Structure 1
Amino acid sequence: MYKLVSAMTLALFSLSVSAAEHQVKMVNNGKDGMMSFEPTFLKAEKGDTVKFIKTDAAHNSASVLVPAGAKEWKGKMDEEIVVSLTQDGVYVYVCDPHKTMGMAGVIQVGKPTNLDAAKAEADKLSKSFVMNKDRLTKALAQVK
């Protein structure tokens, strides 16, 4: 019985250790220009989390497309949010008040099972951007 409990504890510990927490900063001016998430593209594994870090004021993170079975999110203004990545696929998100400025990002988790849908959503969103029109296209070009 002791060996069984020890083996189960070790297995559960191994699962929790393998999950990573990634950080994405919400910035007014970053590596990808004005009003951006840093990084704009993130590759993660199923079970990982992403913490959206408030670096500058007046930002949030809100999903606009998630893989089937994944939970959508909408962070409050000026608050950090932690998002669990539970499904393989491509996640597309924006900052609501700066969406028209092209403040958007992409997360790839495992296999990009919904890449065509993500590209269609990115095309639709990019048409509404007044700047940074190619930001999502560049981010999606990194999906493999």
Structure 2
Amino acid sequence: MIRTLISALALTALLGGAASAETHEVHMLNKGEKGMMVFEPALVKAAPGDTIRFIPTDKGHNAESIDGMIPEGVDGFTGKINKEVEVTLDTEGLYAVRCKPHYAMGMVMVIAVGDATTPDNFFEGRVPKKAKERFEEELGAL
């Protein structure tokens, strides 16, 4: 009887943790509330274990992490053009995401996982002017 109760409690705890993970949808758009070539939303606040689903609402877009602008030790991701991509983020920190074909046009977004703060070296790499402006706008909302 006690073994059954302990097993049931353990199973409930495991399933309860999995159920708390959330899926956030991000649309890749030619035109949105903030202008041309955008991710909506452009800022996602997520918890460790949450999944981000990038949806190519308009054609010609992809979603990929930017090397040097994700938490240290985390493998980046690259989605294919016109294909939905899902990523589960387990490590706290900031994740910069771009649409490679429209990066210079500022098609970027930020995912803040957990208690993320902007690292001092976040903009050390070469970031196109329009992309940097959009990053700074979203980081200001954290």
TM-score, length-scaled by structure 2? 0.90
CA distance in 1, matches of 2:64, 2:8: 41
1:15 corresponds in structure 2 to 17
Other-structure match for 1:69 = 73
Which has the larger Rg? 2
* Number of positions where the alignment pairs a residue of Structure 1 with one of Structure 2: 138
Alignment of 1:102-117 (within 5 A): 102-112=106-116, 115-117=119-121
> 1:25–1:41: structure 2 CA closer, same or farther, 3 Å change rule?
same
Alignment partners' CA distance in 2, 1:11 and 1:19: 13
Structure having the larger proportion of residues in helix? 1
* Aligned residues: CA RMSD: 1.6
The answer as to 2:29 corresponding to 1:33 is no
| Structure 1 length-normalised TM | 0.89
Query: Which whole-Å CA distance do the structure 2 matches of 1:117 and 1:4 have between them?
Result: 48
For residue 70 of structure 1, report the CA deviation from its aligned partner.
2.4
**Partners of 1:114 and 1:138 in 2: CA distance:** 12
Q: Is the 8 Å Cα contact of residues 118 and 139 (structure 2) preserved in structure 1?
A: no
Give unpaired runs (5+ residues) of structure 1: none
* Aligned-partner Cα distance in 1 for 2:54–2:12: 30
Matched, 1:139 2:107: no
Report percent identity of matched pairs: 38
Q: Matches of 2:132 and 2:122 in 1, distance apart?
A: 15
For residue 52 of structure 2, what is the amino acid of its counterpart? V
Which of residues 91, 103, 107 is equivalent to 2:95? 91
SS in 2 for 1:71: coil
